[in-house]
Each structure stands twice: as C-alpha cells, then as structure tokens.
Chain A
Amino acid sequence: MMRTLKMSLPVAATAAVLALTACGGSPSASTEDRGSPTKSIKVVAAEYSSSTSPYWQQVAKDFTAKTGVKVELQVIGWNDIHQQVSTMVQTNQLPDVLNLDSFSQYAADDLLWPAPDIETQALRDNLPENLRTSGSYKGKEFGIPLVGSDSALFYNPAIFKQAGLTNPPASLDELQSDALAVSKLPGKVGFALSLSPEAPHIDFSTFMFNMGGSYMADGKWAINSQQNVKALEFLKGLTEKKATEVNPGKTGRVEGSWQLFEAGTAAMTIGQGGLADRLEKSGTPYKVAPFPAAPGVTPTSLGVADYIMAFKKPGNQDAVKQFLDLAFSDKNYTKFIETEGLLPVTSGAQAALAQKPKFGPYIEALKSAKFAPVGEENWDKVLGAMKNSLGLAVQGQDPQKVLDDIQAVATSS
C-alpha cells in the first residue's frame, strides 16, 4: 500500500500540471507525449479464416462496452498484410494493436511497448514460459504469442503394416531403419523430407533439436555447432541411403512432402494440424506420434507462433492493456482457437482443449516445443540463407560448409 501511495504522488502532480497547461489553452508537445487516454484504438489483425473477423468483433464489442473506447478494426488477409502494415508504418498511421507473424523489425525501430507494459498480471500468468519468451527481441519481450502451431511425426499405419512394422519409431536409428524398410516396397517412400526453399528450416530444426542442437548457445549464434552438423549429416545419410523421396533438397512442404504423404506414397513425414485436415479430407490413414529424440535428449518439436504487439502511441497503453486482457479471456479466446483449429498459447485454453482429440497431442507437443530465435535481429537473413542452401547439403555439398556459410550470415552485421 505504501508503495502505491508513493507512486501516486508524482502522478497526481503531473496530472495537475497537465490540467494547468490544458487550461492555458496551449497544447504543448509534453501534453501530447503523456497523452490523455485515447478515445479509439486501431486494431489490425491477420485473417486466419472466415471466423477470424467474428472473434475480433466480439472482443471489440466487449472492450467498447467495458471502457467506452471505440475500436477501428481491420482484418487483412495474409497475402496483403505485410505490405499494408509496412505502408502504415511508413506513412506513420500506426495501428495500436497488431497481430502478425513477426515483431522484431518494429521492436528494432523502437516502435513497440515492451510486452510486460501491456499485459495484465492475469494475462502474464496465463502464458506458459516457452511461448511467452519466444516473443523476445534482444532478451526483452515485445511480441505476445496469439496462436501457436507445432509439428509432430505423421505416419501411415497401413504402409507400416505392409513393411512389417507395427509401432512408430522410438529412436532416430529406428526412424532410419523403418524408412529403409518402407522404401524397399515398390513405389513407396520411407520418410518424406522437405528441404527445398519453401520452408526447409521446419524439418531441419525438428531433427536438429531432437539431436541436441540449437540455433543459439549462450546468447550467440551457433548454427554450425557440432550437433547441428551431425543432424544435417544424418539427413544427408537418409537421402543417400534412399530412405527418403528422390530429391528432398528440392521437395517443398505443402506441395511436396505433405503431398507424398497424402497420396499414400510416403510412410512418414513431419506435419502439423494443417496436414491432419488434408488427410481427414482425403481419407489417407494416419497416426500422429511424438518425434523420436537422440539418447539423452528430451523429445521436442519446432514451435511456431504468431504475435500480438502494441505500438507506442501517447495515451494508448491502458486501453491496449484492457483490450488484450479481453482478447485472451477464456470466453473469447478458447472459442476463437477452437474454430480456427490453431493451437492455444494460454494455459487456460490449453487445459480446456487438452481432452479434445483434435488438439490433445499437439497441445502436449507445444508444451515442450522449442522456438526458433525469430526475434533475433538477423533471423530473417538466416532464414533466407537456410532457404537457399539447406537443400544443397543433401545433394552433394558438405553439411559443415553449408552450416558454416549460414553461420557467417548470422554473425554478419
């Protein structure tokens, strides 16, 4: 109590000064900066599906009813949102709240509120640590995860049976021998691996994490670490032994490895909820299992999250805080996640949906998921370099050299 009292004194003084300047009728820069509470906020969100808009409209309605602050809502499709937000930033028509798949570029330009400044304690407590800290830029949280996804091992029990296999692989060695056994069947592929420029980091990260590797060690880039090289060599080995499809370095994901699995050609692949939806439609038999890990390594998967961020504008902090609290409220948020089929990032919604078969295994995996350092300054360049060269490691180039080159991009200024 003492603390709050001490704190409130300077606040009261400032308020008095503000009132005085306001009376003087000379709106100065300082009044602008402190800002009187805003009358309306602009919310820009990415459209995941047709049920995205109703969710934000509901949140906006609740928010306006509670605070009297109006909401100007724009829900924009993924194809256009990056370019439109860039235009908003360049023309200084910043949104107050933004939902996007990246945040660090705006944190780097010092445009964002640090996440703790716009999270209510209840919201903060509701976010599991691995997800909460995934939104960090230079060790400080700026992005609040909104939705997550992660990957798991998909396998086709019918093909497994044909190859005389019953259980999903429990180790990486088993994964390799199972894949080889399937590849011996005519016209079948053991493990569909995707390392083409589409999104090679997903499959690579999954193997890398489960073989004890990581992108960074002690806060520094470690892409060419020994474990990572070993992981890439393992993938090269899979390819050369023909345990994979013909050319994983040139196979994409949505049209590539997933297509092979969906068509019943491949027995295993790394997939997400999106693949499960496709398989339900096509009727391809499938089961989902945790990805096997090397001895002594805790099984994990690559988590991916989209983020909410708030732009620093005078007088918007409190409104944003209230808005986010409602956006993540169990009532609104759980329904949103359930209709979108994405993974929940709050402990509350995770618990509420854990029993549903559509969510259960993925939520479990998300709890132990690791995240790529998406907030690091050079991440976009690292991702670009991975897209352009990871695939080369399974078609003749030395994995060590490939990773050395990516490390060089990561550590360049």
Chain B
Amino acid sequence: MGWLGLAGWLGPSVVLILVVVVYPLIETVRSSFQSFSLTGAVKGSAGWDNYRTIIENPAFPRVIVNTVVWVVLGVVLTTLVSLPLAQLMSKEFWGNRFLRIALIVPWATSVVMSAIGFRWILNYYYGVLNPLLMRLHVIAAPVDWLGSDRTIRWVMIGVVAFVSLPFTCFALLSGLRTISDDVLEAAAIDGAGRWQSYRHIVLPLLRGPLTVTVLLNSIWIFNSFPIVYVLNKSNPGYLSDTSTTFMYKVAFLTERDVGAGAAMSVLNVIVIGVGVALYVRRSRME
C-alpha cells in the first residue's frame, strides 16, 4: 500500500476537484482582472477596473439587499415549515408513507423544471392559481404574480423554500430518530407538557442537524440560480435579481461584460467560501 495505495484512493477525487473546481476557479479569478472583446477575446489586463465597474453599477446595492433578503427569508421559511413537517413524519400514522413520497417528488424533479412549472401555475392569463384564489375569495381580481415588483420577491422565496423542504425535512427527521423515547418518557414523568418537552428536550437535541441544514441551505439558496432566473426572466432591469443572476446577466445578456461578470462571480465565491468554512468548522466540532 503506502503511497501507491493513498494515491489510488485519493487520486480520482483530487483530479476531479482539480478539474471541476480549482481550474475554473483560477480561470474566473484571472478573467476578473482582464478586459474582453464582445467575442470573448482577451483585450488585455484590466487591473481592478472590473471590480470597480460592478460595484459602481447603480443596481449593485439593490442586488445585494435582494440577495440577503432572499437567503435569510428563504432559510427561515424553509426551517419553520420543515420542523413541524419532520415532527409529523416521525410519527406513525395512516398515510405517512404517502407524505414521504410526496415530499421526495420535488427533490427528484430538476429545479429548472420546478421553476418552469411555477411559471405556468402563476401565469396571469392561464395559470391555475389566480382562478383558484378568486373562487376562494382570497383575491378579487387576478394578480400578476411574476410581473408585479411587489409580489415576485415573495413568490421566489416561497418557491425556493418549497424546493428546499425535502432535504431539510429528511435531515431533521433523521435527527429526530436519534432522540430516544426514554428521554421523552422521562420528561413526561417529570411533568413536562408536550410543548415544554419539545422546547427544552427535542429542540436542543436537534441543534446539530438544525445548524447543518441552516448552513447548507444558506449556501444552496445563495447559489440557487435557476429559480431566480426562470421566474424573473421576463422582467427588465435588475429590480429582483440576486447576485448570481446579476452576474450572469452582466456577463452574457445585458451589459455583455465578461470581465465584470467574472468579478461579480469572484465576490460570490468569497461569500460561499465563508459559508463553507463555517460548515467545515461546525463538522469538525462534532
């Protein structure tokens, strides 16, 4: 074994990481300091100009606020819905299996497909949501969910939470499974009510899986390009863009500035890097 064995075990993944992660990362960082022609040919060094261009873009502050709101509310909503759902799933009852399957489906569907599905559900003229809500007298007139600047943000947060639910629920469910019934029984004998035992026994014991899901969801939602892009693609301007779609639009769609797009991308990587570092630290502590 020795060196050869080590290389055999680690080699493939190291090569994969080098090719799929490290090389593109280096190229992106390099691109962020170069200026490009429209065909993508390098015109020369740009110094920090690309970073200046992207930060001085009038839409930049708005995009940053959008991103923060999107990640924070997306994670909070996902967690708040997942906790009771996981609790429900941990109990044995008729239809439990059905619930689990129903929850797996959005996970198995590609995110782009889910987002396109929501595009049609929410369509002003032909979507199914407007007639349904009108019949239920929730709204009096159809709402342009994806076209109105007031509603699209909440719609996007709702969709990303919907897509993040399966992973979060199953992660919390496995956490719940590790809590032994004896502990809960002991609490009941000591006179703890249901809420008390949840608040003081279950939640603290769930801290590990909760932290992990919050961290992973933050990274995932921050990075979640397809939902924002698909739901927001008919809207001109950058009013509802997050940092990942902003990066894409600047590079390839609107300003056609690959250098500035690469600079934005590097900023994104730094943010994700912080998230990943937190996650790694957290896993080490366990």
Interface set of A (CB-CB < 8 Å, partner B): 86, 89-90, 105-106, 108-109, 195-198, 200, 245-247, 249-252, 256, 259-260, 263, 265, 380-381, 384-385, 387-392
B127 within 8 A of partner (CB): no
Interface status of B234 (Cβ within 8 A of chain A)? yes
Q: Is the CB of B144 within 8 A of A387?
A: no
Please, which residues of chain B bring their CB within 8 A of the CB of A252? 233-234
- Measured CB to CB, the closest approach of chain B to A379, in angstroms, equals 9
Q: Which residues of A contact B146 (CB under 8 A)?
A: 250
Contact A105 B144 (CB under 8 A): no
Pick the residue among A90, A108, A249, A265 that contacts B236 (CB under 8 A).
A249
Query: Across the interface, do B124 and A247 meet the contact criterion of CB distance under 8 Å?
Result: yes
Q: Is the CB of B256 within 8 A of A196?
A: no
**Which segment, of B35-43, B154-162, B193-201, faces chain A?**
B35-43
- A-contacting 9-mer, from B12-20, B205-213, B220-228, B247-255: B247-255
Q: How far is the CA of A251 from the CA of B37 in the complex (A)?
A: 31
Q: How far is the CA of A380 from the CA of B39 in the complex (A)?
A: 10
Decide: A389 and B255 in contact? CB cutoff 8 A. Answer: no
- Asked whether A389 and B144 contact (CB < 8 A) given A86-B39, A263-B125, the answer is no
Residues of B within 8 A of A (CB): 37-41, 124-126, 144, 146-148, 233-238, 249, 253-256
Complex Cα distance A86/B116, Å?
Answer: 30
Q: Between A and B, how many residue pairs show CB distances below 8 Å?
A: 84
Assess the A251–B256 pair: CB atoms within 8 A.
no
**Docked pose: A247 CA to B148 CA in angstroms:** 9
CB distance from B96 to the nearest CB of A (A): 39
How far in angstroms is the closest Cβ of chain B from A281?
Answer: 18
When distances are taken between beta carbons in the complex, the residues of chain B under 8 Å from A260 are: 125
A222–B195 CA distance with the chains assembled, in angstroms: 69
Q: Are B124 and A197 in contact (CB under 8 A)?
A: no
Chain B residue with the shortest CB-CB distance to A89: B39
A197 with B147: CB separation less than 8 A? no
**B144 near A388 (CB under 8 angstroms)?**
no
Inter-subunit contact A251/B237 (CB<8 Å) = no
User: A245 contacts which chain B residues (CB < 8 A)?
Assistant: 125
Q: Which 10 A-B pairs have the closest CB atoms?
A: A391-B236, A388-B254, A196-B234, A250-B147, A105-B39, A247-B147, A384-B254, A250-B234, A384-B256, A380-B38
> Complex formed: what's the CA distance from A384 to B236 in Å?
11
CA distance A388 to B248 in the complex (A): 13
- Kindly provide the distance from the CB of B257 to the nearest chain A CB, expressed in whole angstroms: 9
